Structure formats: structure tokens, C-alpha cells
Amino acid sequence: MASTACFVIVSKNDIPIYDAEVGSAPKKEDQAYQHQFILHAALDVVQDLAWTTNAMSLKSVDRFNELVVSVYVTAGHTRFMLLHDTRTEDGIKSFFQEVHELYIKIFLNPLYLPGSRITSSHFDTKVRALARKYL
Amino acid sequence: MANYLAQFQTIKSSCDRVVIAVEDVSDLWLNVRQSFEQRLPVKKACLNNKARNPVFVENLPAEFIQTTDSRLRSRFPQEQYLFWFREPYATVVLVTCEDLDEFKTILKPRLKLIVQNDEREWFIVFVSKAHPGNDQATKMAKKVYARLETDFNTKRRERCCKFDLHGTDADFWDDFDSKMVDCIRNTLDRRVQFYEEENRKLSEQRFTPIWNFCNFFILKESLAFMFEVTNLHEDSLREYDELELCYSESVNLPGKHREFGGLDTGDDQAALLNPGFKALTQIIQDDVFREFEFRQYIFACQAKLLFKLSRPVEVAARGYAFVVGFSKTLALHENALPFCFREVWVITACLGLIKSTSAQYDNGIVAIDSEKEFHRLQGDLYSLCRVKFMRLAYLIGYGVEIEKSPVNSASLSMLSWPKPATWPSIPPDSSAEIMTKEKITLQAKPREKLFNIQRKPLPLEPSFLLREANRRRAFLSVGNMSELYDSVDGSGLDAHSKLPSNKSSSNLMIRTMSGPATSETSLPVDRPMRLSEIHVAAEHALKQTISDPDFMTSLSSPEEFENRYMELTKGAADNYHRSWWKRHGVVLDGEIAAIFFKHGNYDLAAKSYEKVCALYSAEGWEELLADVLPDLAECQKILNDEAGYLASCVKLLSLESSLFSSKERQAFQSEVVRLAHSEMKHPVPLDVSSLITFAGNPAPPLELCDGDPGTLSVAVWSGFPDDIALESLSLRLSASSSADEGLKAIKSSDARVLVPGRNIITFAIPPQKPGSYVLGALTGQIGKLSFRSHGFSQDGPVDTDEFMSFEKPTRPVLKVRKPRALVDITPAVSSALLMNELQWIGLIVKPIDYSLKGGILHIDAGAELKIEESQMIEIESYRSNGEQSGPTDASKALSSSSEPGRVEKVPIENGKIKLPDWASDVTTLVWFPVRAIDDTIARGTSPASPLKHSIVDGMRMIALKLEFGAFHNQVFERTIAVHFTNPFHVSTRVVDKCNDGTLLLQVILHSEVKATLHVKDVSLDLQAGFEHLGNGDGRPTSSLFPLVIAPSSRAGILFVIRLSGTKDLDELENSDSMMTIKYGISGDRTTGAHSPVPVKPDDSEELLFKISLKLKRPVLDPCLAVGFLPFSTDCLRVGQLVNMKWRVERLKDLDEASLPDDEILYQVDANPQNWMVAGRKCGHISFSKAQGSRIEIAVTCVPLVSGYVHPPQLGLPDVGEANVSCNPAGPHLVCVLPPTLSTSYCIPA
């Protein structure tokens, strides 16, 4: 498992609708800011890259010192962004795909307003489980 | 071969163009040189690139050199071979000859000798010196040239051209150019082939021990250089790329230990754009180049070519990658390099790249994409440079100047410290500097944030510098933190227990560690350095490293540092903005703002902070927003921008509550409240949509009828951490059909304190127009500040106001129905009631899904109708027939819900009845007593005087007005008609006439009401001219009383009367008989007439009904008989004239004086609507008095309507009715047919 990993789902309006620190390293208060900051800045890169490829998985789009940002863009232009320090391309890809699956389930929920924050604890649990499995 | 390197370098620098040798056979060069050299550089040339594809190059630089020139002569063959690229690419043989023999004997052999060398590409220029005027000479020259052509031209290639010294023609130059280019191309092809072959050979040997990179390099670069000279830059670039690749492979081969380089003075300044920075000979070592210099050299060559190709964007892209990659390489060799060499190199490299690429870039116009790309790269370079610069500054103690923002923290805290072999130690005699540094550190206070926001400052260092530096010092073997602590303050506290407790700031901690400044400068060997000492040591080491004085200046003082820092940040931000990377750009704007802020330039700072906040806010990255928003608020506070400051405070409050402590949030609120209650210069409405949100109840919308007020309760969520007192709170509703918010705000009368979280506020809604309404906006006042919120929330406070931008189904909270009947009032009984008696009138008051609670019924009786107010009104619940006959279940359910048959008596005052509460939802029957007044005396009818009865006579109107609804706002008005009638209709007829003159008068009583009538007594008071037979009490002959008359039936009573002997006809006609009927009635008020309401308890139930009857004396002695003669035609038609005829016959003599002469007056009565009488309607006609005389009276009439109509009647006014016998006796009808169809409009076929 990656020691540092921050996973964020950004809606098509660039609003983070879900975020989770899924790394194994103990949480540091100040790191949350940095991770948010790095992921936010990486949106700039994603906006350029997303339209250059048909693939949903953009792989690693940005690098910040030792940390890498991997991005997966859904058809609805929701972006799954993962800030991580280890490089298991396959694992990350599987992680994204399965999270996409979960996300679609959330999306199909008639009580979920698309674009609003995902507050489902079930989703959270599942995402963390997936992170443990793949990252 | 490495020995040739120096020579190669020299040759390369001296020879920068294509050399064309001039073999001046006939000493002509001086004559033609000028015109030849004017052709250079070669304007256009078609050369073959490495892949043998033709490439057009322009302005190919070239130089003519005579073969006799020393530059071409003094070369050894070996050299020639090695540096073949500098050899002439073409040989121009200049000849002239005016004599054919001379040509044959001298020139030709000589030329043959010259051109026999196959290696050379040559062509002959025959220069004709002949003057154009001199025909002989011209002819001769032509002959010689023709000879020359035959001798030296081949079929495949023409090698000769002719140049006229006097009068040049354009054709020659084209010919000359093409021949020259042919030669150059051929030479180039051959040489490329040669070099390629050599390179291939060398490449094959690459993994053999004898392989030498230097040789490979010389060959490769020769080729590259040759391409460069011939303007084939693309090919040249490719060669360099290959060279670089090859070098990377060879340099990474394990085994050999090589010097890295970078230890010379000035090496810290990156030379990645200056290929001539160092001679190649300087950087070679054991046939291999030093990596540090060589990589930069290769990159410089590539950059040069790319610039020549006008591709500055690619330079920037490659440059950035190179800097990043090379920086890593430098990190590998860091312990051998000077302190912070890597950082310094990166900074200079970035700056150099930025400078050169932007200088080159300005020239071209490029596509938008590559422009974006370019600026992005520039931005990347700037920010890379900026980070490294900050790192250096931090090392020498300017850390306090650096804003601890997420961007700086993320950049610096993940960037490892420099790893020199040993950390620089303190230079001697630096105590003053240490003191100064210490002072700076001590003086620097962490900025007091507004609202007392206590947040752990973000780190700017990957690990504590103090520990890192001391650990790397040569003589401290162990860099254990606890040791450091112990040795500094000697308290012996465990570091781990102490560290976390000291959370305030790293600066603070460092201060405690450095302790009071001890003046000792010469450190004992075992004492770790203090932070200020580390700074001083680093500064000194940097001074050693940095060779650029300008660069060093920018680190010389905090001010200088700040200037450079600002410059870099601005550059990065600007470029990122131009590359549309707004997030990167805006973040750096925040950094710029921080500096502005520090310098009190609050205006600019606020502007930049606003940009940052707007971005984070728009994209909902709240944690980042929470970091920068307090700064903006502080700026706004200082600038006295109350509106902005309030908005910021509200925004701060509306951020996720976990981002700030409750104390901080309370501080925000108190600021809002303080400002709200203060005198604001420009009070502006505050938008608190994100802070105070509201929603209707989850229940279905409140439904109101048109015109009704209502009470709407709205859930209001307050995001304030504490209770907040509001001066007022009002709600705007907006009609969902129309967009305008033209509705008045509805004020709440509720408590004005909002508790944190959910509040239920009720609003009294005045009557609204029909339609459905959604919540519009919530407005209110805190102190003097008016605020406004558009924030809906479905079931809780929304996270951000941007949430609103989503299509959200707005649920109506209020529906006002269109006007409809809310109540119906109908009379309960449709049949007639008794006239002149106190009767109950029933009204069915039926609420239609609407409560009549508190309703007041106004009853306004019309003329000739009086409500008996002394009586109580009876109200009872009503069930219609349908309900009663309904299924038992339903009736049970009904009966359980409302008490069946409940009756209540209520008073009536001034025609007003207050409906009881129980009657508000159920259909009720309201009974109230009225008396219809009719003063006229009823008249009976007889066959002689038929009843002209109008139903309107018994009609009485009652105007009803029901006021109901919560505020009596609903009004129902209706006028109902009630039918009153007499109990009987009486008609009389003479049943029989006896011989003795007695008449049997039958009086027929028709019951007019739907009730059983009990006739108890009848007496008939006869008019004059008649008298009762017998006892004369006016009673009927038979005494059958009480006589019961069922509803709608009749009864007859027989009187025996006789004519009394009076002669006065007038008297007879003017008086009536009067019949008095005593009767009782037993009826139900629910069906119709009933016994009158007893006003007094002792009222008898016996009722009296008087009716006048007009009796006519029978025509006993008719004097005249009038007969209606039949019509002459069978049928009458409308519009057809018809003669009406009557025959009048005198039956007996009249001896009375009433008829003075033998004339008689007649009069025709006709209904003018039915008949038109043509001619006189009345007149006198002579009529003999003799018995039996007869006359006919004829009147012409036109019937006007079809159907059965009464014909005109003939009357004799002068003769009393009693004396006239008519046939037919009463009114009769004739049939009138419709008019015949008119054919006048028919068109024959």
C-alpha cells in the first residue's frame, strides 16, 4: 500500500465532491493542505490532457517532487484524482475502474443530486477498501 | 584521435561556411571576383538531407577561396580526410582563351590535369573577354567555348558555362548557380555517405574495449557540423540527439570512475545555451568527456539549432526537461560539488532559458496551442527557479520572509535539503553576522492573523534544518535530536515529549533552542551549531559557490531577496495566466499578494487575494479557501472595505465548520455583528446565501384558497456558530410561473433570534394571487445591516453557494387555488309556503371543502317579507337524500364523525346569524322564520271570470351574504327566491239551476300546498243580489267538517243560494262575496308549507283564510243574443284577411230607458299581438227595438300569429252583461295556420 495517497473526486464543475486520505502513512495535519493544493493545481494539466485522448485513464499527469498525480476522467468529465508516491500503474488503473463502478452506483441513486458532495459512508468504506487492495 | 580534438575545435570555429575552390587557370579571378562574390550566399539551393530527400535551403553561406590560398594548400592528406567537412565543396575552373590552337595545345591538357581528380566536384567557367563590338573576337571566343564544351561536357552532365566579361546576361548566373549547387550537393552526398559509413563502423565497435567515445564524437559532430554549415539544421539536430543518446549510454556504463566536472569557477552558472563556454579539450578526460560540461555542451548545440529552426518553444520544453533531469544528476554528485551547487545551477539555467527563449519567441507568430505551451513552460521554469531560490534564501535565514502558504510549503517541504559531504561550518570572525541573523530571527514575529486564527504554520522545510545541518557536519557522527536538545538547554527532557508540546511554530522552537545569544564564536568541536550559525555558514558557503555577483546580490539582504522573489513569482504567475493555467497562476497571485500585504500595499494585495479566493470559492476547494480567505478579510478590514469584509466574514462562517475552531468562528460572527451594529458609511445588502439557508417543510405545499391568508412555516438554517439576533426577518415568495419577484416581502413576527442550526420560522401570508409559489429570498436585518439569502436547502445546510448553480427542482411551498365556490347555499324547500303566516325557510349551507368557521350569515329579507327576529334560528346538520341512502358503512362513518341530527338554536340579530363551530365543516340546514305579507285579498275564480294568476305574486326574495374564512375575507352572496302562496285556490260554479230559482253553488277548494289541510269551517258571506237559502248562516248545506284535503287535491263544498230581488245592476257588479275558511294545516317544513311558527305560546293552530268570490247573476232574461258566425274559409292563415262576423238578435223588448234610441254601441276587443283589426273597432249601429230584429256586424281582421288564438270578441258596452247571451258562451280559440310559402323568390329551373 502506498504510504501517501490522497484520492479526490472532482465534479465536472471542478468542485471536489469526495476526498479521502487513503495512504498508510499517519495523517499529518499540514499535508492535507498540500495534497489538496497539488491536486487542485493538477486540474490545470488535466484540462489540457483530457481532450487529447480517448482513454479514460490519463495515467500520471503531474509530478510534484516525489509525488505523482494519476487521473481518470469519466465520460461525464468527473475526474478521479489520486496523489500517490508509489507507481503501480496497473493497481491504480484497477482502483480507478472499480471506483468508477461505485461512483456510477452513487450516480444512479435518485436521491443523489449530481454534482453534490458524496456523503455515503458506504461509498467511503468501499473506496478505502479498494485503496487497500490496489494501492 | 583525441589529439585532434583541439584541432577540430579550431577548425570548427574558423570554418562556418561552404568553401568553393577557385582554380584560376587564366588569372582571371581578380576580374570576376566581385561579381562572383555578389552571388553569395547562395540564394536557393536544393540539397539532399541524410535520408536522401531533396531539401530546399535558403541563403546557403559560402566562400570562394582560390586553390592557391594558403588555407587550402597546407593540408596533409590525413587531415584532409579527417576534417573533410571543411574541404571545398566545389571547384570552379576559370579559363579564358582566344585562340583555338592555344586551347588545344596548352589549355586543354592543363584542364585535363586539373579535373582528373575524381574526388573533386568541378565545373568550368569560360570567361569571354571579347568586347561586344568586336565581332571577330566574339566569334573566336564562341568557337573556343564550343570546343571546350565538346571536350568537357558529358552526356550526363554539363560542366561548362560561359561568362561574358562585358555585358553579363542573366542566364549565365542561373547556370552558374545551378552548377555550383550541383557540385555542392554531390560533394555533400559523398561526404555524408563517408561519415555515415565511418559512424556505422564505430558504432559496431561500441562495446569493444578499443572503442573511444571521443572518436565517435568527432565524426558525429563533423557530420552534424557539416549539416549545420549547409543549413540542414534538422539533420544536424538529429545527429546531436543521437550523440546525446550515445553519450548517455556510454557515461552510464559501470566500471569506470569518471570525473563529473562542475568544480571550476563559474561552473555554477549554467552554460546550457553557450556551446563555446569551455573548450572541448578542457572537458575531456581519458577519451571521455566530463558529464557536467558535455551535457550542457550538447544541449547548447541543440538549442542553437532549434533557435535557428525558429523553435524556441521546443528549446523551452527540452530545456525544462533537461534542467529537471540534470538537476537529478547533480544530486547524485552533490557531495562532490560545492554547497548548494545544484540549486544555483538550476536557478541560472532556468533564468538563462527564460531569457533566451523569450527573446527568440518574440519574433514569431504562432498558433494558440503552442503559445499556451510556451507560456506554460516559461511558467514552469519560473516556478522551478522560484522554488530553488526560496530554498537558498531559507538556508541563509530569510525563511521568515517567505509566506507559509500551501504552495510554498508543498514546494519546499517535499524538497530535500542539499546533501553536501559536510555541512559548511562557521567561518571565523563571523560573530557579528551571527548576531545580526539572530536578531532578525528574534525580531521576526509570526504574523498575527486576524480573528486570532491559530493554525499550525505550514512547514517550509522537509526536516528541521537544525538537525539536518548538524547531522551532516563532519565531526558530529550522530545527529540525534535528543542529543541536540540535551546539549543545548541541558534540561534532559526527552525530545519526543517536548517536540509535540511545542506546536506554535518552528521559529518559536528554534528560538528556544538557540537560547540567549552567547557571544562565543569559536565553536567547540562537539557543540552543535545554532540556527543562526547555520545560516551564516550557509551564506558564506554560498558566496563561495555563486560566481555571479548579480545573483549573490539578490541574496545579500532580505530586501534584495524579496525583489528577486517577487520578480520570479510575477513571471511565473504571468506566464501561467497566459498559458490558461489559471490555477497555477492564481496561486502565485496569492504569493504576490502576500508580499504586497507585507509592504502595506493592501489595495493590490486585496485584489490578488480576491482572485485567489474567487477561484477556490468557485471550485469549492474549501480547505484551500480557508487558508487564504482570512488574509483577504484582513486586507479588506484595513482598507475599510466594509462590504467586502462582511462578505468575507460571511464566507468564512459558511465554510465547513471543521475548518475553523469554534472560537474562530465566534470571532467571525462577532465581527459581523459588530459591523452590523456600527455606523457603516455605505451600507450594502449582504448576501448570506451560503450562511443562512432556508427551505419549506418537506410536507406538501400549503394550499390556500384565493383570497385567504395563511401561515407558512419555513425552516431556516443558521450557519452562525452562536445565536444571532435579527432585527427583522422577511421572506419573499416568487410565483413559479413568472420570474419576477414582484411580491412583497412577508415579515415574520416570530422570535428574532436564530439559533445555530435549524429554526422554524412562521410567516403570516396575506392573501396572494392564485398560482403556486416557491421560496424566493430571505431578507432581514442584523443591526443596521440588511442581508439577503437565496440559499435554499433541501434538508440541511448546503456546502457552498455554488451548489445552487445546479438545476435543482424548486418545490412550491404555497399553492393558491384559483377562485372557486367554497360554499353553496340553496333553499331547502322548493314548494310554496303559506302566505301571511310565519313560516320556516330552510337554507342548506354546504361548505365545499372549506371550513366555514366563524362564518356570519347575513339575511336580508326583501320587500313584503319579514324575518321574525324574536324567534331563534334553528341550525341542524343536514344529510341529503343521497347520503342517507348510501351504504351503511359510509353513513356510520359519517355519523361517527359528526353528530347526526344535531340541532342548535341561535339568535338572529339584525339579520345576522353566527354559524356555530360544529357547523363549519358539515352541511347544515338553517331554519329561520319569515312572514310573507300580502295585503290583497285572494280572489276566487269562476267560469265567467277566469283566474289571471301570476306566479310572481307569491315570490319573495331573500338576499343572503355569508362571510367566512379566517379573517372573514371570503364572502358568498346569493339571492334566493321563496315561493309563498295561499292555502287554497277557490273556484266556483253553478252546478244546477232549479226551477224555483235556487242555485246550487259549488265552491271548489284546490289545495295549493304540499301539506294536508284540515278545513274546519267555511262560511260564505254572499254579495248583494244573492242570498242563502235556509237558515242563512252562510254555511254549506252539508256539514262534513273537518274536511281533509290532501296535498294537491281538491274538495268541493255545496251552497244553496238564490238570487235576491235587487234590481241594481251596478251594485251587483261591484260587490264580492266573501268566503271565510277556518282550517288547520299539518305539513312538514322540509317539504313545504307547514303550520305557522307559534309566536306566542297560546296561539291556536286554527288558521283563517278569507277569499273573495265574485258571483255573477246568471243571464236569466237575455235581451240580446250575440253569435259568432263561422268563418267563410276553412282555415285562417297568417297575413290573410278574414272577415269576422257576429250576429246580434233582439230576443225581447226592452222597456227600460237604458237604451235611449234604436242605436246600439259595439266594440271589438282583440289582442293587438295576435290580430290586426282593419277598420273601426267600435261604433254605433242602428238596431230596431222590435223583438226579433237582427243585424250582423262584420270586422275585417288579419291574424298575425299562427296557432290557436283567441279571436276578437264583440262586446256591447251599453248593455249589461247579464242581458246578453253569447254563443259560444266563453272564450274560445280558433286555429291560424302559418303563412303559405312565398314562391316569389323561387327561380324556375
CA distance to partner chain A, nearest, from residue B411 (Å): 8
DSSP-based three-state secondary structure for B963: strand
Q: Which residue numbers of B have CB closer than 8 Å to A's CBs?
A: 372, 406-407, 409-411, 413-415, 456, 458-459, 576, 580-584, 587, 616, 618-621, 623-624, 627, 794, 799-800, 802-803, 805-806, 808
What does the pLDDT read at residue B447? Answer: 67
Q: Do A15 and B620 touch (CB under 8 A)?
A: yes
Q: Do B458 and A30 touch (CB under 8 A)?
A: yes
Instruction: Tell me if B281 sits within 8 A of B293, measured CB to CB.
Output: no
Given a cut of 80, is residue B312 above it in pLDDT? yes
What does the pLDDT read at residue B792? Answer: 61
Rounded Cα gap, residues B16 and B10, in angstroms:
11
Residues of A in contact with B802 (CB under 8 A): 13, 15
Q: Please indicate, yes or no, whether residues B213 and B65 belong to a single structural domain of this protein.
A: yes
Beta strands in B268-367 (DSSP E): 284-285, 288-289
A113 close contact with B: CB closer than 8 A: yes
Residues of B in contact with A37 (CB under 8 A): 406-407, 410, 587, 624
Q: Please indicate, yes or no, whether residues B23 and B145 belong to a single structural domain of this protein.
A: yes
The letter for the amino acid at B738 is S
User: Please, what sign has the CA dihedral across residues B908, B913, B919, B922?
Assistant: positive
What does the pLDDT read at residue B805? Answer: 40
Choose the mutation target among B380, B387, B412, B624 for the interface with A, i.e. most A CBs under 10 Å: B624
Of B829, B844, B905, B835, nearest in space to B866 by CA: B835
Q: Do A34 and B618 touch (CB under 8 A)?
A: no
Higher pLDDT, B1117 or A92: A92
What does the pLDDT read at residue A27? Answer: 66
Q: Do B414 and A34 touch (CB under 8 A)?
A: yes
Q: Please indicate, yes or no, whether residues B836 and B876 belong to a single structural domain of this protein.
A: yes
What does the pLDDT read at residue A99? Answer: 92
In a domain, B600, yes or no: no
Given a cut of 70, is residue B865 above it in pLDDT? yes
Q: Please indicate, yes or no, whether residues B142 and B8 belong to a single structural domain of this protein.
A: yes
- Mean pLDDT check: name the lowest of B233-242, B381-390, B484-493, B924-933: B484-493
CA distance to partner chain B, nearest, from residue A122 (Å): 20
What does the pLDDT read at residue B1245? Answer: 54
Please give the residue range of the domain that contains residue B1086. Answer: 983-1109
Given a cut of 60, is residue B512 above it in pLDDT? no
Q: Report the DSSP pairing between strands B686-687 and B785-789.
A: parallel
Phi, psi of B944 (to 5 degrees): -75, -35
* Distance, first Cα to last Cα, chain B: 132
- Mean pLDDT check: name the lowest of B111-120, B216-225, B549-558: B111-120
In a domain, B306, yes or no: no
Q: Do B414 and A43 touch (CB under 8 A)?
A: no
B835, with CB counted inside 10 A (0-12, 13-18, 19+), is buried
Task: Report in angstroms the alpha-carbon separations of B595 from B588, B632, B770.
Answer: 11, 13, 59
Residues of B in contact with A64 (CB under 8 A): 410, 414
Of B1088, B1109, B1130, at which residue does a domain stop?
B1109
What is the percent of chain B with per-residue pLDDT over 70, rounded to a whole number? 84
Of B216, B224, B257, nearest in space to B2 by CA: B216
Residues of B in contact with A20 (CB under 8 A): none
Q: Please indicate, yes or no, whether residues B1101 and B1144 belong to a single structural domain of this protein.
A: no
Q: Please, how many CA atoms are within 13 Å of residue B328, restricted to the half-sphere of its CB? A: 7
Q: Do A36 and B623 touch (CB under 8 A)?
A: yes
User: Please, what sign has the CA dihedral across residues B1006, B1007, B1009, B1010?
Assistant: negative
Q: Please indicate, yes or no, whether residues B772 and B843 belong to a single structural domain of this protein.
A: no
- Mean pLDDT check: name the lowest of A119-123, B220-224, B575-579, B782-786: B782-786
Could you tell me the three cell numbers for B991?
Answer: 252546478
What does the pLDDT read at residue B507? Answer: 41
The pLDDT confidence band at residue B520, using thresholds 50, 70 and 90, is very low
CA distance to partner chain A, nearest, from residue B622 (Å): 9
In a domain, B740, yes or no: yes
Partners of B956 in beta bridges: B978
Given a cut of 70, is residue B565 above it in pLDDT? yes
What is the CA B657 to chain-centroid distance, rounded? Answer: 27
> What is the average per-residue pLDDT within B1177-1190?
81
The CATH number covering residue B1105 comes to 2.60.40.10
Q: Do B621 and A16 touch (CB under 8 A)?
A: yes
Q: Do B410 and A43 touch (CB under 8 A)?
A: no
Q: Please indicate, yes or no, whether residues B993 and B956 belong to a single structural domain of this protein.
A: no
Could you tell me the three cell numbers for B831?
Answer: 314548494
Q: Do A30 and B409 touch (CB under 8 A)?
A: yes
A6 close contact with B: CB closer than 8 A: no
> What is the average per-residue pLDDT within B1151-1156?
50
Phi, psi of B814 (to 5 degrees): -140, 135
Given a cut of 60, is residue B511 above it in pLDDT? no
Residues of A in contact with B621 (CB under 8 A): 15-16, 36, 40
Instruction: Tell me if B729 sits within 8 A of B777, measured CB to CB.
Output: no
Q: Do B410 and A113 touch (CB under 8 A)?
A: no
What does the pLDDT read at residue A98? Answer: 92
CA distance to partner chain B, nearest, from residue A95 (Å): 24
Could you tell me the three cell numbers for B1093?
Answer: 311558527
Of B977, B1011, B1034, at which residue does a domain stop?
B977
Of B1146, B1130, B1127, B1114, nearest in space to B1215 by CA: B1146
Q: Please indicate, yes or no, whether residues B722 and B741 belong to a single structural domain of this protein.
A: yes
Rounded Cα gap, residues B384 and B403, in angstroms:
17
Residues within 8 A of B (CB atoms), A 17-56 only: 29-30, 32-34, 36-38, 40-41, 43-45, 47-48
> What is the average per-residue pLDDT within B453-460?
75
The residue with cell 530571527 is B441
What does the pLDDT read at residue B956? Answer: 86
Q: Do B802 and A30 touch (CB under 8 A)?
A: no
The pLDDT confidence band at residue A72, using thresholds 50, 70 and 90, is very high
Residues of B in contact with A40 (CB under 8 A): 583, 616, 619, 621, 624
CATH class of A5-134: alpha beta
What is the CA B819 to chain-centroid distance, rounded? Answer: 33
- Mean pLDDT check: name the lowest of A48-62, B78-92, B115-129: B78-92
Higher pLDDT, B424 or B997: B424
Q: Please indicate, yes or no, whether residues B710 and B788 belong to a single structural domain of this protein.
A: yes
Rounded Cα gap, residues B277 and B254, in angstroms:
28
Concatenating the DSSP letter of every residue in B893-947 gives HHHHHS-TT-EEEE--BTTEEEPPGGGGSS-EEEEEEEEE---SPEE-B-SSS--
Residues A46-70: pLDDT tens digits?
888 888 888 888 878 888 777 889 9
CA distance to partner chain B, nearest, from residue A68 (Å): 12
B-chain residue closest to A118, CA distance: B799
> What is the average per-residue pLDDT within B717-736?
81
Angle between helices A29-49 and B582-598 (to 10 degrees): 130
In a domain, B469, yes or no: yes
Of B782, B785, B803, nearest in space to B793 by CA: B803
In a domain, B33, yes or no: yes
Q: Report the DSSP pairing between strands B833-834 and B856-861.
A: unpaired
Which range has highest mean pLDDT (B208-212, B478-482, B877-881)?
A: B208-212
A-chain residue closest to B806, CA distance: A115
Q: Please indicate, yes or no, whether residues B443 and B407 belong to a single structural domain of this protein.
A: yes
Residues B805-850: pLDDT tens digits?
444 556 777 888 888 788 888 888 888 888 888 888 888 888 888 8
Find all residues with CB under 8 Å of A24, minimum gap 6, and list them: A1, A2, A3
For B536, the enclosing helix (H) or strand (E) is helix B531-545
- Mean pLDDT check: name the lowest of B232-236, B383-387, B847-851: B847-851
User: Please, what sign has the CA dihedral across residues B164, B165, B168, B172?
Assistant: positive
In a domain, B517, yes or no: no
What does the pLDDT read at residue B381? Answer: 92
DSSP-based three-state secondary structure for B1061: coil
Q: Please indicate, yes or no, whether residues B987 and B973 belong to a single structural domain of this protein.
A: no
Q: Do A37 and B806 touch (CB under 8 A)?
A: no
Of B977, B992, B1023, at which residue does a domain stop?
B977
Q: Do A114 and B406 touch (CB under 8 A)?
A: no
- Mean pLDDT check: name the lowest of A105-119, B206-220, B622-636: B206-220
Higher pLDDT, B735 or B946: B735
Residues of A in contact with B616 (CB under 8 A): 40
Partner residue opposite B458 with nearest CB, options A14, A33, A41: A33
Which range has highest mean pLDDT (A66-80, B470-484, B1083-1097)?
A: A66-80
Rounded Cα gap, residues B793 and A60, in angstroms:
38
What does the pLDDT read at residue B740? Answer: 54
> What is the average per-residue pLDDT within B862-870?
81
What does the pLDDT read at residue B810? Answer: 67
CA distance to partner chain B, nearest, from residue A55 (Å): 21
Q: Please indicate, yes or no, whether residues B458 and B556 belong to a single structural domain of this protein.
A: yes
B-chain residue closest to A44, CA distance: B581
Residues B495, B496, B500, B506, Cα dihedral to 10°: 40
The letter for the amino acid at B856 is I
A-chain residue closest to B577, CA distance: A44
The pLDDT confidence band at residue B1061, using thresholds 50, 70 and 90, is low
The pLDDT confidence band at residue A104, using thresholds 50, 70 and 90, is very high
Partners of B704 in beta bridges: B816
Task: Please state, rounded to an integer, the average pLDDT across all residues of chain B.
Answer: 78
In a domain, B1244, yes or no: no
What does the pLDDT read at residue A100? Answer: 93
CA distance to partner chain B, nearest, from residue A33 (Å): 6
- Mean pLDDT check: name the lowest of B146-155, B446-455, B488-497: B488-497
Rg, Å, chain B Cα set: 65
The pLDDT confidence band at residue A9, using thresholds 50, 70 and 90, is very high
For B1159, the enclosing helix (H) or strand (E) is strand B1159-1165
Residues of B in contact with A34 (CB under 8 A): 406, 409-410, 413-414, 458
Q: Do B806 and A113 touch (CB under 8 A)?
A: yes
Given a cut of 70, is residue B517 above it in pLDDT? no
A89 close contact with B: CB closer than 8 A: no
Residues B1184-1241: pLDDT tens digits?
777 778 888 888 888 888 888 888 888 887 776 667 777 777 678 888 888 877 666 5
In a domain, B63, yes or no: yes
CA distance to partner chain B, nearest, from residue A69 (Å): 14
